[in-house]
A and B are shown apart, each in its own frame.
Chain A
Amino acid sequence: MVDVLVIGGGNAALCAALMAREAGASVLLIEASPREWRGGNSQHTRNLRCMHDAPQDVLIDAYSEEEYWQDLLKVTGGITDEKLARLAIRASSSCRDWMRRHGVHFQPPLSGALHVARTNAFFMGGGKALVNAYFRSAEQLGVEVRYDTPVVSVELDGDRFVAVHTAKGERIAAKSCVLAAGGFESNREWLREAWGQNARGEWPSDNFLIRGTRFNEGVLLKHMIAAGADAIGDPTQAHMVAIDARAPLYDGGICTRIDCVSLGVVVNREGDRFYDEGEDFWPKRYAIWGRLVAQQPGQIAYSITDQKAIGRFMPPVFPGTVANTLPELARLLGLPEQAFVQTVQDYNAACRPGNFDHTALDDCRTAGLAPAKTHWARPIDTAPFYGYALRPGVTFTYLGLKVDERAAVHFGGRPSPNLFVAGEMMAGNVLGQGYTAGVGMAIGTAFGRIAGTQAALAAKKVHHATA
């Protein structure tokens, strides 16, 4: 019997497998996807938010534990667990040498991401390069890896892990187990159940696109909750951004984002504005726009800019709809022409003169308009006009299993002796809502490593008990 069974193939699973193997345990890692789709959502990530008290290789200045914690407190609105959050924060200050030993390369921030030069260490080549490095290292160290092996159920003896049953009907027993199989964002049924039906009679989640892997169906999460494991979090909470409506249903990743929201206006299907597009810098606001769009009729919205915005935002993956007049743009986008033109005219008339600067919180704002646009408000008056349709894009869900600082799965408040959980399946302990770049990987790395170590320890105890 293998000592440690790791279920999942993303960052948290790999961190767990590597740590368990380094602690001397025999490790089997089973991944639901085929090899070419391995890595879960980690293949779409790009950086790690790192605490550091002084400049470190690719990180400038300092980012203290306190500042990191305050940032997290702010974005989650206090729906977090301070003890676990600080554990992840502190771990982020010392994990990178270990990551490098397993082949991960870091680089300074990418162009267009200089705002996180102080806080986030970027993986050279992105998350898939990191996943590749970890898999190579794991295989070199003797971790057995099996692809195409989805798990359908977990066999428990009270609060003790016994074995898993795979979709192929195989029973795999192990002395201990780490669950790191991701959230349920690609389970359309579950999303539908969680988001329900709105007052307009729509099922909003039917119009969601999934930015990440198609393999996160939440099978294990659902199974564990049904088996009595303690859950945490709201199933409608997720990392959700507004992305190009033409993005693929799954795995659209980073390139489907639309970064021109703050440079123009955003209207809904009726042609009305619904939120302050210039509330703050786009990187600080993009994570709220997914929910904003989800609340609009038809779960769709349209980012509208004019010629003045060209060359001031990251290039989108698909070309925008272009028109020489606003009525023409409305027609091409399928918006009610009169309402749309009225909205833009009202907005244009409300723009106060100011000194436009898209690199600062400038003084270009509207007056007497609801909702106001508080920065970067310039009339949309220079043809050609551009429109991009937006849809909510779910990156990952926050509903998870409750853990302690040992990453143990809990049953009725009691920790399991040999079942641990890491990554998206427990990120909700720290992230009750909201998001800030690189936190998901920080939680996954910290708790993946803890879970691996604890699983190896638990396997040894079983060994001693049976010997």
Chain B
Amino acid sequence: MQQLESLTREASTLARGGYPTIPILSANEAEVGRQMTVCNSCRYCEGYCAVFPAMTRRLEFNKADINYLANLCHNCGACLHACQYAPPHEFAINVPQAMAKVRLETYTDYAWPPALGALYKRNGLALSLALVVGLALFLALAASGQGSLLQGATGASFYAVFPHNLMVSLFAPIFLFALLALGLGVRRFWHDVTPGAASAAAVGDAADKVLRLKFLGGGHGAGCNNADDAFSVARRRCHHLTFYGFMLCFAATSVATLYHYLFGWEAPYAFGSLPKLLGISGGVALLLGTAGLFVLNLRRHPLQGDAAQKPMDRGFIALLFLTAASGLMLMLARATPALTLVLCLHLGTVMALFLTLPYGKFAHGIFRSAALLKWAIEKRQPNPLQLGDD
């Protein structure tokens, strides 16, 4: 119905011939628009997160608004359990689910190059294929280089299996492409949500919200919902372990790169060395965090979020877990005949992770950070509405 109305509105605008085309809403976007209209006349959830205060600054919701609000939503679930209009009520309000469905469209629509946006739709398959490609590539390279996959490399050096330059020439372009693709996608999103100029205070505010995952705190700090209406900090903590674990691993690689090129110190590094300390702590944190997120994802309330996206969520979690686990195994397997196999497993997994970075769950961090920055800017602007009290 809403869709029909927006179509009619667009047609009449076109007929009048003045105004530029209003983008037509997708079914999922129209559903968010419908739900936000109900929420805007209730507003009980204003204290939980930024979505509802952002909503109250609007009377109508256009395509950009809807994509902005959808990415501002952290799927914490608080508003679903608190909602007097949630199913079985005929208004059927389920904001976390409606927002999740639009988020997938945001990622798809803003993917660069656009054709690859389709990878989000069958993301479980995309991740599996990437993993197979990554593993096959390294197994083939190892087999052709060494003749056998079970032969321990001499001197326990990875570079004896895969020369350093080979690894750099494989990973650097893929990683740089991932950055470019994500950057171009989010740039277009940023342009469409027309945020205005970011002050230092707004940037700091947004960074704080991102790094502390403020909106998984439920507004009261007791946490978000998972299996039921009880609040828990488990998801926030597991996400912290995952995110900061990932960053520590990334730091380990970066430090090792500096060691290699700046000082000419070649891997392997000693147990007490900086890359090792960063890598081990990061790997363990990533392992614990992703295991926790996986269990939480399995136990999530069936109405909370979009069930169709579970393969994408779980695939990304599994890939991160596999990356951490194979990385730690590699350390343990160094002096054993399993080294080559474990190395192939690790490098293949990391390859798959990098390949799918711009076309999988990883995108949520980028688009959500952009939405949080938009909110930090917007809330510092005067409210355009002067509504009377209810």
Contact = CB atoms under 8 A, between A and B. Distances in A.
Contacts of A251: 84, 89
Nearest to B222: A105
A361 interface: no
Contact of A255 (B41, B56, B59): B41
B82 A132 contact: yes
Nearest to A43: B84
Given A124-B48, A125-B79, 11 more contacts: A43-B84, A111-B43, A128-B81, A254-B41, A255-B41, A256-B41, A311-B385, A313-B387, A314-B390, A317-B38, A359-B388
Interface in A83-115: 105, 107-108, 110-115
B219 A255 contact: no
A283 B220 contact: no
Chain A to chain B: the 6 pairs with minimum beta-carbon distance, closest first:
A126-B44, A125-B82, A107-B47, A129-B82, A255-B41, A132-B229
Contact of B389 (A114, A127, A256, A317): A114
Contacts of A129: 44, 78, 81-82, 229
Given A248-B90, A259-B390, A283-B389, A315 B40 contact: yes
B53 interface: yes
Contacts, number: 125
25 contacts: A37-B88, A43-B84, A44-B84, A105-B47, A111-B53, A112-B387, A115-B389, A125-B44, A125-B45, A125-B47, A125-B48, A125-B78, A125-B79, A129-B81, A254-B41, A254-B390, A259-B390, A262-B388, A282-B388, A283-B389, A311-B387, A313-B387, A314-B41, A314-B390, A315-B40
Given A111-B43, A129-B82, A253-B85, A283 B390 contact: yes
Nearest to A286: B390
B82 A282 contact: no
Interface string B35-69: 00110111111111000010010010000000000
Nearest to A133: B229
Nearest to A58: B47
B147 to A, nearest CB: 63
B164 to A, nearest CB: 55
A46 interface: yes
A152 to B, nearest CB: 24
A355 to B, nearest CB: 15
Contacts of A126: 42, 44-45, 82, 84
A314 B388 contact: yes
A331 interface: no
A283 to B, nearest CB: 5
Interface in A396-450: none
B83 interface: yes
Nearest to B53: A111
A130 to B, nearest CB: 9
A131 B322 CA distance: 42
Contacts of B385: 311
A161 to B, nearest CB: 32
B85 A113 contact: no
A463 interface: no
A223 interface: no
A136 interface: yes
A171 interface: no
Contacts of B388: 112, 259, 262-263, 282, 312-314, 358-359
Nearest to A39: B84
A239 B230 CA distance: 32
B387 A312 contact: yes
Interface string A25-50: 00000000000110000011010000
Interface of A: 36-37, 43-44, 46, 105, 107-108, 110-115, 122, 124-129, 132, 136, 248, 251, 253-257, 259, 262-263, 281-283, 310-317, 358-359
Given A124-B47, A128-B82, A254 B42 contact: yes
A110 B46 contact: yes
Contacts of A253: 42, 84-85
Interface in B262-308: none
A231 B320 CA distance: 66
B386 interface: yes
Nearest to B82: A125
A255 B390 contact: no
A255 B387 contact: no
A127 B46 contact: no
A79 B157 CA distance: 89
Contacts of A111: 43, 46, 53, 56, 387
Interface in B116-155: none
A126 B219 CA distance: 13
A110 B41 contact: no
Interface in B153-167: none
Contacts of B229: 129, 132, 136
B222 A113 contact: no
A257 B389 CA distance: 12
Given A110-B44, A125-B48, A282 B84 contact: no
Contacts of B390: 112-113, 254, 257, 259, 282-283, 314
Contacts of A132: 81-82, 229
B230 A136 contact: yes
Interface string B354-390: 0000000000000000000000000000000111111
Contacts of B84: 43-44, 126-128, 251, 253-254
Contacts of B45: 125-126
Contacts of A257: 41, 390
Contacts of A316: 41
Select the residue from A112, A251, A259 with max chain B CB neighbours within 10 A: A112
Nearest to A281: B389
Contacts of B81: 125, 128-129, 132
A313 B230 CA distance: 35
A255 B85 contact: yes
Contacts of A113: 389-390
Question: Which of B53, B78, B84, B222 has the largest count of A CB atoms less than 10 A from its CB?
Answer: B84
Nearest to A259: B390
Contacts of B230: 136
Contacts of A37: 88
Residue in B79, B87, B89 whose Cβ sees the most chain A Cβ within 10 Å: B89
B219 A107 contact: yes
A9 to B, nearest CB: 14
Contacts of A313: 387-388
Contacts of B222: 105
